[in-house]
Structure 1
C-alpha cells in the first residue's frame, strides 16, 4: 500500500516516469512495478504506459488525487493502516503518512503504539534482512535449532513475518521439506540472504499462506509428540504478591481469588519442561496441590538444583 501511494504521488508531480526509475527508487524488480501499475489501474487511477523516446508510465493530464475518491471512513482506515505500519518500520512510512494526511485534511490520532526495544541490534538487523528477502523474493539459508536441540541447515523462500503470542516467526517455503513451514526467529542462527531469487509459483504460495490452507509447520512438528499425550488437570495455589503475574500466565476464567487474597488456579496442560519451568519460576510463592505425582516431580527438580550449588 505504501509503495502504491508513493508511485501515485510521484506521478502527480512528474506526470511521467519509467518503470526502471521506479524500480531503482523502491529497490524492487521492474516486474513488481508493472504489477503495482496494474493495481492502480484496477483501482480506477488513469495510469498508462507510453512508448517511444519520451515514453514511460504516465497519468492523464487532468487527473488530480481527489479525496472524494474514498469515503471518510476509508480515509481513516488508510491512515490507521499506515500508522500501524509505521510502528513496525520506524520512519519508512512517515512521508507518505504526512502527504495523505494533508490530502485528506485529516489528522489521524495515534491509536497504536508498539515497542520492540527489548530486541538487540542483532535482532533488529535480522528483522530488516528478512524483510528485504521477502520483498525481493530472495532465498535465505540458516541454521535452525529445534526444541530437541537438533541443528539443521535450511534453505527457504521467505513469505511472511508473523508475530504471535509475544514471539516472532517466519512463514516460509522450505526447500528441504518441500512445503510451508513456520520457524521461530529466536532459533534461527547464521542467517544469510542468497542470490537465488524465487518468482515461479510465488503468488500461489502466498495465496495458500494467506488463506491458511493446511500446512505442516515447524511449530506443529515440535508438538507432534504431545499429540499422543493427554492434558492433565492442575490445581495451583499462588501467593497474592504474584497477582501481577497470575493474569499474565493464566486465563481469567481459570483463576479464583480466595478470601485470604491468594489465588487458586485450575488449568489443564500437557506436562512438559515449559510447564514445570513456569511453575518453578514463581519460587516459594506457588504450590501445586494436584496431581500428587507432579508435586513429587517438582520436589525432585528442586533437590537436583540444590545439588548443583553444593
Structure 2
C-alpha cells in the first residue's frame, strides 16, 4: 500500500505547486506522521521533494521536476502494474486510480488481463469495511478492538496491536500483538466482529523475535497423515495436494501422504470430502473421524 501511495503523492505534487501534509493525510485517510514518513521515503529515493513551514508553506517538488519513466525497464513497468492489479483485490478504490495513471504514464493499454478477487461470495462489503479499519490501524499504529470467535466457537474480546494482513490457504488473517495473551497471535478475519480502532498507540513492533513466537490458527504442530480417496475425488486431490504427495492406485483410487496442522480445522476439512475419503493413518485421527460421523448419523436416524 505504501508504494501505491508514494506514486500518488508524486502525481499530486506534479499537478499542484504545493499541498499541506494535513491535506495529503485527509486525502489518503492516514495520519500526518505517516505522510511525513512517506516524504522522507521519497527523498531517500532521490525524488526532489521538500517542505516549508509557516503561512503559505507546504510540501512541494523542485520546479520543473519531471518523473522519468526511463528509470524503469519495460519489465519493471509491467511488474509494477501487475502488482497493483493484484493489490486491487483488497478492494481499495485508490489502487485503481493509481493503476490507471501509471498505465497512461507508461503507455500501457492492456492492463485488464488479470483479475484477482479474494472475497467470499456474499460478504464483500463486510470484509471491505474490516479491511479499511485494519489498514488504518496498521498505518497509524493504533490498537484495534474486536470480538473474536475461535475455531471451537468460543467468543472473546481482544485488543491487538496490528502488524500486517496475511492471505494464506484461501483466507485472510491479521497478525498482531494480543494485549490479552501478551504474545503475537494470528486471527482469521472472517471470525472478527465489532471491529473498531482505539485511541491507544501501539508499543510493540513486528520484529523477527516477536514473529518467531507467533501463535494462531495455522501456527500449530503438523502431523503425518495417510489418506485414501476414491476416483470421484480426483478433481480435489490434484487441486489441493502437491503432485509428489499423490499416488494413483491400480483400482483408480488415490493415496495421499501429507503433513497437515492438527486441530479442529483438520476434522472439518477432512469431513468436507464426504464419502470420497477414508483416513488410513494416524489411528487417533481415524477414530475421531468415526466418532464424529456416528454423531452425524445419529441426527438422521429416528
Change (3 A) 1:14 1:219: same
Matches within 5 A, 1:268-287: 273-287=264-278
Correspondence list, 1:102-181, <5 A: 102-107=104-109, 109-110=111-112, 112-115=114-117, 116-120=119-123, 121-181=125-185
* RMSD of aligned alpha carbons: 3.0
| Structure 1 residues 113-154: Cα deviation after superposition (integer angstroms, max 9, x where no partner) | 222242513333222322232233332212223334443221
Q: What's 1:56 paired with?
A: 58
Q: Which residue of 2 aligns with 1:89?
A: 91
Larger mean CA deviation between 152-161 and 286-295 belongs to: 286-295
For the 8 Å contact 1:234–1:269, the answer to whether it is kept is: no
Query: Residues of 2 paired with 1:159 and 1:293: CA distance?
Result: 37
Aligned residues: 297
Structure 1 Cα separation of the partners of residues 215 and 261 of structure 2: 20
Q: Secondary structure at the match of 2:235?
A: helix
In structure 1, the residue corresponding to 2:298 is in which secondary structure? helix
Does the 8 Å contact 2:176/2:184 carry over to 1?
Answer: yes
TM-score normalised by length of structure 2: 0.83
The question of whether the paired residues in 1 share the 8 Å contact of 2:34 and 2:139 is answered with: no
The question of 1:247 aligning with 2:238 is answered yes
Gaps of 5+ in 1: none
Which of 290, 293, 298 is 1:302 aligned to? 293
The alignment status of 1:219 with 2:217, answered yes or no, reads yes
Of the two, which has the highest radius of gyration?
1
Deviations 1:62-91 (A, max 9, x none): 211221233333322322222222222253
Does structure 1 retain, via aligned residues, the 8 Å contact 2:147–2:193?
yes
Q: Distance in 2 between matches of 1:270 and 1:22?
A: 45
Q: Which moved more, 1:242-251 or 1:277-286?
A: 277-286
Q: Could you tell me the TM-score, scaled by structure 1's length? A: 0.82
Q: What is the Cα deviation at residue 254 of structure 1? A: 2.4
Name stretches of at least 5 consecutive residues in structure 2 with no aligned partner. none
* Aligned mates of 1:59, 1:132 — CA distance in 2: 27
Aligned CA distance change for structure 1 residues 60 and 267 (closer, same or farther; 3 Å) = closer
Contact 2:81/2:111, CA 8 A, preserved across alignment: no
CA distance in 2, matches of 1:162, 1:269: 19
Alignment deviations for residues 193-228 of structure 1 (CA, whole Å, 9 cap, x no partner): 22x142655xxx14x16x98412322367x3xx58x
Structure 2 partner of 1:190: 194
1:286 shift after superposition: 3.0
